[in-house]
Chain A
């Protein structure tokens, strides 16, 4: 019974390259969230998605960042033309959304740690 699976766990990119982070939610979960965590800081909301639908992307930077959760396959967080300030841990979480209601009870993956050189 796998939990939320994120890959890669660690990713190193040079400035200007693209980073793709993947997240497979827990079985039966239809809601996916992405959070960013800088060292010594809390979790900052980025985006909330359901299958084929972005519910809330108010935490996403306006440029270079995008997210999707296709009908088939994992959710993808894509960062184009990375800069050093993008270095952080990116956490994905999923929730069962009982009866379509977001209860706030999230199941987190182990995170993807992006380092931009």
Chain B
């Protein structure tokens, strides 16, 4: 089946630093999405990407849909303590298929 590999698995950074994480797949996806999960909560959609090469921002977050359609990147600028959580990438092949999630990147921000 389709698998998504996220790197790194965990990150420990200082407040104010920028963060980069990525997601790769051996299969092509036509939609890439990034979700964030706070402790004890369900995931919340951050950014959705629908076109290869697309670069989309949402506040301090920027995500890119890789040109090969097999990867995506998420950057967080000037991190703050509330950025703590697990960041999941997700891929969708087509509108009739299921959404596949990566294993997540655990982000810890030290004040």
Contact = CB atoms under 8 A, between A and B. Distances in A.
Contacts, number: 61
Interface of A: 4, 33, 35, 41-45, 48, 55-56, 58-59, 91, 93, 100-111
A69 to B, nearest CB: 15
Given A33-B98, A104-B92, A42 B45 contact: no
Interface of B: 31, 33, 35, 40-45, 48, 88, 90, 92, 95-104
Contacts of B40: 110
A104 B93 CA distance: 10
Most buried by B among A41, A42, A105, A110: A42
Most buried by A among B33, B42, B99, B101: B42
